[in-house]
A and B are shown apart, each in its own frame.
Chain A
Amino acid sequence: MADSSPSVGRVWTPPPLIANATLRWIILIGTVVYLIAAFGTLDFNWQRIAQGWERGQRFLGGFTPPDFVTRGEAILEGVLESLWMAFAASVVGIILSIPIGVCGARNLVPQPIYMVCRSIMAVSRTLPEILVAILFVKLFGFGTFAGFMTLMFATVGYFGKLLAEDIEAANQAPLEAMRAAGASWLQRLNYAVQPLVMPRAIGIAIYRMDMNFRESAVIGIVGAGGIGATLNTAFDRYEFPTAAAILILIILIVLGSEYLSTFCRRLVR
């Protein structure tokens, strides 16, 4: 088919992401206005920032070489503390979140129970972990127990929600069949729901354990034990080589656990 209209002067452009032109312009102008407002109100201390480069260099100089030895014992203890805190919190958190997650699935329970369980999970997910840690340190005193409680609380919200959503998204036919055969609620749960969601649930559980370890490095800063507490002490004492060593260890362990969790998930599948 010959196109009679001259193609000269017409250039093809890819379609824009936001099809609605008005909306596109509103977003664009809004962004510009926001940026002007944001930069206008930021009170950067330029003098301090100008020193930043030099300070940064000195800081990095203080970091190298990382020192694993001087505080070796404290570092080892901190890492182990974090590991068992994360493990115990994951186990208890997951055990607790199974009933909450199951009751947060719309297709298994009546509406009121569903609402209660969903709101427990929403509260747990909305509060930043570090805030929960501060409150728990006030309640239970310094140390790993507060950290354990914090991670457990966070695990309930995370694991419970994903479990509930998995149950809702799973194939409903076996559930229907079991109900037709006259199975009780528990039997339905055990034979129609559990086998379907189990592989993914194990994957999520392993991932959550990995997350708990990472978080345990942070909540120590507010006094909830683990490697975070050791890191915080190192910073407070200006022992930068030790701090560098701890940061490297955290990265290595997180890397290791990431590989382990990919491996485990592949094994389960």
Chain B
Amino acid sequence: MKFYIFGVMKNNSNRITLIYVLILMFMAIIGHKLFVSYFSASDNESIFRYDYLKDLLYIVFSGLILKFILHQNEMRNKSVFEKLQLTNIEIKESNERYDIVAKATSDTIWDWKMEDDSFIWNKGIQGVFGYKKEDVGKTSKWWFDRIHPEDSLKMSVKLYSFLEQKTEKWQDEYRFQCADGSYKYVFDRGFLVKDASGKPIRMIGAIQDVTKQKEEEQRLRLLETVITQTKDAVMITDIDTSKNAIPNIIFVNSAFTDMTGYPAEEVIGKSPEMFFGKKSDILEFDKLKTAIQEYKECFVETISYKKTGEEFWINFSMIPVTDKEGEHSHWISIQRDVTEEKEKEKEREQLIRELTQNNKDLKQFSYITSHNLRAPLSNLTGLLNLIEDITIEDPELKEIINGFSKSTHLLNETINDLVKVIIIKDNPSIQKEKVLIKDVFENVFNQLSFLISVNKPILKIDLEDVTILDINKSYLESIFLNLLTNAIKYRDPNRQLRVTIATKVVDDNLIITFKDNGIGIDLEKNMDKIFGLYQRFHNYPDSKGLGLYLVKSQVESMGGTISVASTVGKGTTFTIVFKYN
């Protein structure tokens, strides 16, 4: 291209010279011819000839001068062009460099000419923020519109005050909207270009995407708040064990100061050994030392000492942390004052000990009582049996002995029930067997045949046919016996007793219901007492207040539950639920 242009230039200068010479020569020849024809056959032909020759010589000479001038011109043009060419190359290279730098720094460059408010973005606006080329606006408004509303006011105030002050540098952090509507944290730096009068005419800026740094910064700040704000004391130590077995403290939070009374500056650079004292657990201290030697996490609970010398229970962890390369860099310790918990624990242990002892004593007591009551009672029964064979004539003595006999039998029953309760309570794991419920009922009816024959209740028995339970037969008997006896005992004297006994299998449960139309129990008053020990709800002379307590104990010892529904004057329903396999 360069040579072509030069070629054309050379041809041109030669041609121009040639044409100039030819035209002048043509004019000279024509002029000469005309001149000769006007002054035809004149005398001075030689003079004309001389003039003619002279003209031609002038023409050739002026042609030569023109040629020289043209050549000079050409040479100047050439050097200017070469200079231009070099500048061009420099500009191009500079442009490339700028592009590469922008790419390398991932900066998005903008160029704002204030006079006509033209705003030019480099490719970063597409690459970093996802805008399409055609969507990128060409004025400063487009830029301002994309600044997060929360940041825009602060940012524009800063920017305009900068423009007013006419300083050269400006930088700010704000959120800039991407094409998808999300915001990126950016760091924007601008430089102002001024005209000769010092008026700003142009501003060039570079936007850096700092979203990641910003997020990391926020995350770190959040994590830092956790450490500084937490109610747990936090202590960080280095890993240097050359001077002390437990490395020196480099950080403590305010909760630590609250807990120990030591401000940070008094403990930093010192070993946590200073918190151990006379009453501290030496075994726990050794455990900590070993853990530190082995870089293993460790949990310690010991008595520690505050700045005031006051002792307290501390519970703390010591956890090794590693840096990015996986090298142990620090120990982090979370600490808690557990004095109160310790004391409560102690109290609880003491309470449990006392309760266990009490319970043991009571159990022993009840055994002894029942046995010691039983022995003389059985004598009384035996002696009364003997009296039965003797005919007593004295009616008063007979009456006395009758009363004596009745009381003895009642006492005997009570003690038998009590002993049963003791056995149930002391024997949580009882023998269980397969029991046919029908058989149990037959047994119960046989035992109650006298009562049944006297009171003639209407018994409606609705038992599922092959109902077999994995339970204790004698308990079940006792339960049925108690419930049925209760139903008969507490019948309504004004109407015939009706008892409905039914079993039903629902899912995994066997439900047994005992329903009577007796006098009922006021449950609103007595709900919490009904299955209690020695609770009597009716003024009956032979009521001991033991039956339902016994029933509940037996049901529960077999993993079942019992509930009651009752209306005074209408009747009572007991529902027993057992697991059914």
**A and B from one assembly?**
no
Residues of chain A touching chain B, judged by Cβ–Cβ distance below 8 Å, are: none
